[in-house]
Amino acid sequence: MDLLSTLRAAVGADAVLTDPDVTAAYRRDMMPLAPYGEPLAVVLPTSTEQVQAVVRACAEHRTPIVPRGAGSGLSGAANAIDGCVVLALTRMNRILEIDPDNRLAVVEPGVVNLDLRDAVEKHGLFYPPDPSSYDWCTIGGNVSTNAGGLCCVKYGVTTDAILGLEVVLADGELLRTGRRTVKGVAGYDLTKLFIGSEGTLGVVTQATLALRPLPQAPGTTVAAFPSIVAAGAAVSRIVREGIVPSLMEIMDAASIEAVEAHLNTEVGAGRGSAALLICQSDSGREAARRELAAIEQVCADSGADLVHTTFDLAEGRMLLTARRAVLMALEVYGAWMTDDVCVPRTRIAELIAGCELISAEVGLRIAVVGHAGDGNMHPTIVYDPTSADEFARAQRAFDDILALGLSLGGTVTGEHGIGKVKREWLANEIGPVGLRTHRAIKAALDPGNLFNPGSMFSPAPAASSPDAP
């Protein structure tokens, strides 16, 4: 039987898509720089057994599998390669269990992050990881990329919220990792090895999640600074003084300017602020007041032009709107590609200053927004998508920002991943011994290079070009 017939027998004919007009929607994620190809088929399983059957069939036919969730990724990790089977887990979207007494949930990979958040909130529980795409990204994608978000400064990233996984391996066998208990050290931590492996080691078909008590409604402090050095100093002092806000975001002048134009309102201090810091504390009334008062003081001492704190929820949400609106605000000026570097928190100001220089060098607008609380910055480059020259300059800026992040003691990806867009940079960061170790583990678990070849560190497969005009 040929592969397509086997796949149709395994999952049903309506769950195997081959019409290029239909499969086009499954060819790529949100990263314009990453190459993508033409899949043989897109398969939409509804059970673990179906995933096993698909994996076995593809293994037999030596056809690569690219697992994917909603496609909100920003590294091309879920991009199709020519002739592959795209295994889209979006129909496996059931919340199988919520156990409030043990603060855990068991879910399929296609559950949308926001749907999970809403479901557990009814039990007074909280699933922390909140990538910006939380209203459409899936838990499976979050697991595969070890997704972060705005809450990480206090609550950590996806790997901190996963107790165990069910993974279909390259031979179609089902591996169960981890446990349902809070602690456990029985064997290697395979759970955390699969988290962030970007679909290169297996297909996650189930996850057991550790939940937290729902935090208190947050208070919000906004501070506008006349220089990024002053804002960076405030961040360092907040860290040093032992304050742990539940959110601490930074916007540079280019972000502020774009958002002010977009929202037609002033979000800085009224005369072109150089940086805006938005902090929240959800520690409960008195503690939040104390924490935000301390943050206000630090900001004032660091030279802020304006500091404002509110415990009004609606106002707090509105203040966060400025931060959340940056990408949309930039679309007025052209297409954007967002970079992702994480630097030591003491080096944030240097990173932003460096991005200003890069912006001047390449002659393109670069707006920096980021999670100041953990040093994870997203410099976002704006370019004209119809100009090959601007695209090339944007690509150059993208790489220059990564080099800058590394030179500041940082990493080339804080939360978006390597995918198909930072493979050389991964090699650069982890060096030959690190690369060899990665290859040894990949070969041990996926000797036929079945899963997501060409992603992360394996040789690039044949694929069409990135979005160059």
Q: Is 449 helix (H, G, I), strand (E, B) or coil?
A: coil
Q: In whole angstroms, what is the distance from residue 274 CA to residue 174 CA?
A: 53
**Cα 265 to the center of its chain, rounded Å:** 29
Smallest gap, in angstroms, from Cβ of residue 421 to a second copy? 12
What is the phi-psi region of residue 34: left when phi exceeds 0, alpha when psi lies from -120 to 50, beta otherwise? Answer: beta
Q: Quick one: which of 374, 379, 383, 395 contacts a second copy (CB under 8 A)?
A: 374
CB nearer a second copy, residue 105 or residue 364: 105
Quick check: 184 binds a second copy (CB under 8 A)?
A: yes
Q: By the 8 A CB rule, do 282 and 246 touch?
A: yes
Q: Quick one: which of 270, 272, 363, 434 contacts a second copy (CB under 8 A)?
A: 434
Interacting residues with a second copy between 226 and 255 (CB under 8 A) = 236, 239-244
Interacting residues with a second copy between 59 and 78 (CB under 8 A) = none
Q: Quick one: which of 67, 129, 414, 453 contacts a second copy (CB under 8 A)?
A: 414
Interacting residues with a second copy between 391 and 410 (CB under 8 A) = 409-410
Q: By the 8 A CB rule, do 149 and 186 touch?
A: no
Question: What are 212's strand-pairing partners?
Answer: 126
* Structural element, H or E, at residue 7: helix 3-11
Please tell me the number of Cα atoms within 13 Å of 49 on its side-chain side.
Answer: 4
Quick check: 180 binds a second copy (CB under 8 A)?
A: yes
Quick check: 346 binds a second copy (CB under 8 A)?
A: yes
Q: By the 8 A CB rule, do 96 and 107 touch?
A: yes
Identify residue 172 by its one-letter amino acid code. G
Quick check: 376 binds a second copy (CB under 8 A)?
A: yes
Q: Quick one: which of 248, 278, 445, 463 contacts a second copy (CB under 8 A)?
A: 445
Q: By the 8 A CB rule, do 422 and 413 touch?
A: yes
Smallest gap, in angstroms, from Cβ of residue 17 to a second copy? 30
Quick check: 30 binds a second copy (CB under 8 A)?
A: no
* CB neighbour list of residue 108: distance below 8 Å, 6 or more residues apart: 89, 92, 93, 94, 95, 96, 140, 205, 206
Q: Quick one: which of 19, 286, 459, 465 contacts a second copy (CB under 8 A)?
A: 286
**Cα 97 to the center of its chain, rounded Å:** 25
Smallest gap, in angstroms, from Cβ of residue 24 to a second copy? 28
Identify residue 48 by its one-letter amino acid code. T
CB nearer a second copy, residue 39 or residue 215: 215
Q: Quick one: which of 2, 21, 264, 433 contacts a second copy (CB under 8 A)?
A: 433
Smallest gap, in angstroms, from Cβ of residue 177 to a second copy? 7
Question: What are 210's strand-pairing partners?
Answer: 104
CB nearer a second copy, residue 287 or residue 388: 287
Interacting residues with a second copy between 148 and 167 (CB under 8 A) = 148, 152-153, 156-157, 159-160
Quick check: 52 binds a second copy (CB under 8 A)?
A: no
**Which is it for the CA torsion 262, 265, 267, 271, positive or negative?**
positive
CB nearer a second copy, residue 30 or residue 325: 30
**Cα 57 to the center of its chain, rounded Å:** 31
Question: What's phi and psi for 374, nearest 5 deg?
Answer: -125, 10
Interacting residues with a second copy between 191 and 220 (CB under 8 A) = 192-193, 195-197, 201, 212-214
CB nearer a second copy, residue 242 or residue 271: 242
Quick check: 189 binds a second copy (CB under 8 A)?
A: yes
Identify residue 265 by its one-letter amino acid code. T
Quick check: 366 binds a second copy (CB under 8 A)?
A: no
Q: Quick one: which of 27, 378, 416, 420 contacts a second copy (CB under 8 A)?
A: 416
Q: By the 8 A CB rule, do 53 and 65 touch?
A: no
Q: Which of 328, 334, 348, 389 is nearest to 227 (CA)?
A: 348
Q: Quick one: which of 80, 279, 294, 412 contacts a second copy (CB under 8 A)?
A: 412
Smallest gap, in angstroms, from Cβ of residue 329 to a second copy? 25
Q: In whole angstroms, what is the distance from residue 69 CA to residue 136 CA?
A: 10
Q: Quick one: which of 8, 27, 68, 103 contacts a second copy (CB under 8 A)?
A: 103
* Residue range at the interface with a second copy (CB under 8 A); choices 65-73, 95-103, 245-253, 266-274: 95-103
Q: In whole angstroms, what is the distance from residue 320 CA to residue 312 CA?
A: 12
Site string for a second copy, 112-141 (x = CB under 8 A): ------------xx----------------
CB nearer a second copy, residue 431 or residue 469: 431
Quick check: 382 binds a second copy (CB under 8 A)?
A: no
* CB neighbour list of residue 338: distance below 8 Å, 6 or more residues apart: 74, 327, 378, 379, 380, 381, 416
